[in-house]
Amino acid sequence: MNLDVLTHILSFQNFGELVVLVRNSIFAGALLGIVGGLIGPFVITRNLPFAVHGISELSFAGASIALLVGVNVVTGSVVGSVLAALLIGVLGNRARERNSIIAVLMPFGLGLGILALALYQGRAANKFGLLTGQIVSVDNPQLGWLLAISAVVIVTLLVVWRPLTFASVDPDVAAAAGIPVRSLSIVFMLVLGLSVAVSVQIVGALLVLSLLVTPAAAALRLTVSPIWVPVLSMVFAVVSVVGGILLALGGGLPISPYVTTISFAIWLVCRLVGGRREKRRPRRTTVAPTAVAEKVAVDA
Amino acid sequence: MSEPVLTLRGAGMSFGERTLWAGLDLDVRPGEFIAVLGPNGAGKTTLLKAILGQQDLSDGTIEFLGQPVRRGHRKIGYIPQQRLMESGTPLRTRDMIALGITGHRWGLRRESRDERRRIDALVDEVGASTFATAPVASLSGGEQQRARVGQALASQPALLLCDEPLISLDLRHQRGVTELIDAQRRKTGAAVVFVTHDVNPILDVVDRVVYIAGGRFTIGTPDEVLRADVLSDLYGTPVDVVRTMGRIVIVGSTEATAIGEGEHDHAHHHADADADPEGPIR
């Protein structure tokens, strides 16, 4: 590889000064990591990775239209993704039905976004930023938005954590126990829409999956503990975003390739480690049913 | 006699022209084991949905613990068909059982010491100690059903609703899970309503049978209901009940598969799942 390209990709000139300049972005990135890492395990157990991708395209459409008509881009992005999330949540009850609805919505959203961008006369950097991520720049009002939305997502998830877990792994049994499975599903789609909207601001619509799915998928290769999965997933996501922002500083390139590469590398390592552990684990011997039957008989 | 746990009065269920059952009167007492039998599409699962308040009756009433049924209930333990959990489900066996106690709770409060003890006791009781920390996705069908029984028992239910919980288990595990449910209803006094297409695995523990077929039903002890004359009358076509090697085999003279008893029926049941108006409980 040409050395110039390499130094362009990884440059640490004036690193200390730059870090101070992008303090906001690092803060926003860490917050985003927490949101993505926390919601990721639910996205996987509820079989929604494709929905995340679909929502992000409509989020892009909303943001582009907002850019064109000159209103707040975050608002546009939130409106687009929440609308998409609710549509998918209400119309797509079964996985197959849901996937085709997403596949219908996604190109429509993308097309709408491209139209809005083509009509937009402003700075070109803003255009691609929405699709592929920003060159590090989060200003103060934008940070305020991200903070508020992330707080809503995190608090909501923590409140509904247990019923949502039950409803996600076993909807029939949860419904029988009187858990409001349907309402929880709508609430989840709402917070998913919000999470996608904030992620689009940093990594761009095309790369949201690297924050909302990859870290959780990596964590699930290592453990199935209901405590460690979200914790690891959050750590992985925060490392990916903050690491990506820091590495991107010198080169003046978008942060998204750095974020996606770190996130992918973590997943790869977890996969290898997880696979090796599974091989090493001795085969679990199943309990002899007669012994159990006797035990139950004694208990009774 | 103690108050019934579940009371059906004049209960009927119709879809348009088609009546699944009508005029169903039933009192289920604490500790009673009721088997709901009948061919596919007879309305067995729909009856469970009605008890869970997920499907409104066309006629009559259902009361659970003296109250009209509502959508789901903490005092109902529901044990569905075995369905293998996908790998990547972030739960271990113990966590799955614990959801029966903490799964309805908002917020993140940890299990209390008392609850932890109860969960440990349940893990022990359903014979899940050896796989308590194993990922649920790695469980065999029989192990998973034990965990489900534990989960259902966790809320100290007054009623256990079982929807074909033995399907696709081998005979050994069918017996194990049946004995587990039987022992628990004797110990806790929970009534059991057990939907199945094959009565044989539970024949020894059943108190009464509700046999639904062709829009009609018969209720009684297994000896009263599982007889050639009774079932011929119910089906409106000659049916023979053969007792052989401790098993009951119900054979129709014309269309044996329509009656749907016995093990050969498993494949038939799955193939029909889509056409079946009942479907799994949602």
Query: What share of chain A has pLDDT > 70, as a percent?
Result: 85
Distance from CA of B227 to the nearest CA of A (A): 31
Residues of B in contact with A229 (CB under 8 A): 90
* B199-211 confidence digits (pLDDT tens): 899 999 999 999 9
Q: Please tell me the distance from the alpha carbon of residue A267 to that of residue A1, in angstroms, as a whole number.
A: 26
State residue B1's pLDDT score.
60
CB contact under 8 A, B92 and A166: no
Chain B hits for A160, CB-CB cut-off 8 Å, are: 106
The fold of A3-283 is ABC transporter involved in vitamin B12 uptake, BtuC (1.10.3470)
Describe the strand order of the beta sheet including B159-163 as a list of residue ranges: B76-79, B159-163, B191-195, B33-37, B208-213, B216-220
Neighbouring C-alpha atoms within 13 Å toward the C-beta of B188: 24
The tens digit of pLDDT for each residue in B247-256 reads: 888 887 655 4
The fold of the B6-271 domain, in CATH, is: Rossmann fold (3.40.50)
Tokens for B239, please give them.
Answer: 């049916």
Any chain A CB within 8 A of the CB of B96? yes
State phi, psi for B37 to the nearest 5 degrees.
-115, 165
B282 has a chain A CB within 8 A of its CB: yes
Query: Domain residues of chain A, as ranges?
Result: 3-283
The backbone region for B219, taken as left when phi is positive above 0, alpha when psi lies in -120 to 50, beta otherwise, is beta
Per the CB < 8 Å rule, is B90 touching A163? no
Q: What is the pLDDT of residue B86?
A: 79
Distance from CA of B239 to the nearest CA of A (A): 35
Cα torsion through A107, A126, A75, B106, rounded to 10 = 80
Which of B90, B173, B281 has its CB closest to that of A45? B90
* Alpha-helix residue ranges (DSSP H) falling in A133-255: 140-169, 171-176, 181-203, 209-212, 214-222, 228-248
pLDDT at A257 exceeding the cut of 70: yes
**Stretches in chain B below the pLDDT threshold 50:** 256-282
Q: What is the DSSP letter of B24?
A: E
Instruction: Give the per-residue pLDDT at A194.
Output: 96
Q: Where are the domains of chain B?
A: 6-271
β-strands B208-213, B159-163: how paired? unpaired
Q: How far is CA B244 from the centre of its chain?
A: 25
Task: Return the pLDDT at B40.
Answer: 83
Q: Would you tell me how many other CB atoms lie within 10 Å of the CB of residue A227?
A: 11
Q: Which of residues 18-77 of B touch A (CB under 8 A)?
A: 52, 54, 70-74, 76
Q: What pLDDT score was predicted for residue A135?
A: 53
Instruction: Compute the distance between CA of residue B92 and CA of residue B97 in angstroms, rounded to an integer.
Output: 9
Instruction: Specify burial of residue B255 (Cβ count, 10 A radius: 0-12, 13-18, 19+).
Output: exposed
Partner-chain contact A162 B95, CB within 8 Å: no
Q: Is the pLDDT of residue A281 over 90?
A: no
Ramachandran sector of residue B182 (left: φ over 0; alpha: ψ -120 to 50; beta: rest): alpha
Decide: helix, strand or coil at residue B161.
Answer: strand
Calculate the average pLDDT of chain A: 84
Residue A119 is encoded by which pair of tokens?
Answer: 């009509």
CA distance linking residue B180 with residue B80, whole number of Å: 15
Q: Is B103 on the interface with A (CB under 8 A)?
A: yes
The total number of residues shown for chain A amounts to 300
The Cα B101–Cα B98 span in angstroms is 5
Condensed to tens digits (0 to 9), the pLDDT of residues B60-103 reads 999 999 999 988 888 999 998 878 787 778 899 999 999 999 99
B155 touches chain A (CB under 8 A): yes
Cα distance between residue B145 and residue B166, in whole Å = 8
ipTM of the complex: 0.84
Nearest to A179 among B72, B138, B173 (CB): B72
What average pLDDT does range A1-16 have in this prediction? 69
Rounded to whole angstroms, the Cα distance separating B99 from A233 reads 22
Residue of A nearest to B80 (CA): A173
Per-residue confidence (pLDDT) for residue B273, from 0 to 100: 34
Phi/psi class of residue A171: alpha, beta or left (left: φ > 0; alpha: ψ in -120 to 50)?
alpha
Question: Which residue in the set B104, B106, B142 is minimally distant from A159, CB to CB?
Answer: B106
Report residue A292's pLDDT band, with 50, 70 and 90 as the boundaries: very low
Chain A residues whose C-beta is within 8 A of a chain B C-beta are 41, 44-45, 158-163, 165-166, 169-179, 217, 220, 224-226, 229, 284-287, 289, 291-293, 295-297, 299-300
Alpha carbon of B149: minimum distance to chain A alpha carbons (Å): 11
* Least confident span in A222-231, A268-277, A279-288, B21-30: A279-288
Q: CA–CA separation, B97 vs B86, rounded Å?
A: 17
Contact B142/A at CB under 8 A: yes
Alpha carbon distances (Å) from B16 to A122, B13, B19, B20, B214 = 61, 10, 8, 10, 15
User: Do residues B147 and B98 touch, judged by C-beta distance below 8 A?
Assistant: no
- Lowest model confidence (mean pLDDT) among A39-43, A200-204, B144-148: A200-204
Q: Give the DSSP H or E segment for A180.
A: none
Plot region of A47 (φ>0 → left; ψ -120 to 50 → alpha; else → beta):
left
Angle subtended at Cα B82 by Cα B139 and Cα B163, rounded to the nearest 5 degrees: 150
Q: β-pairing, B247-252 with B208-213?
A: unpaired
Closest to B89 (Cβ–Cβ): which among A162, A217, A224? A224
Burial of B237 (0-12, 13-18, 19+ CB in 10 A): middle
Among chain A residues, the shortest Cα distance to B52 is held by A176
Distance, CA of A199 to CA of A206 (rounded, Å): 10
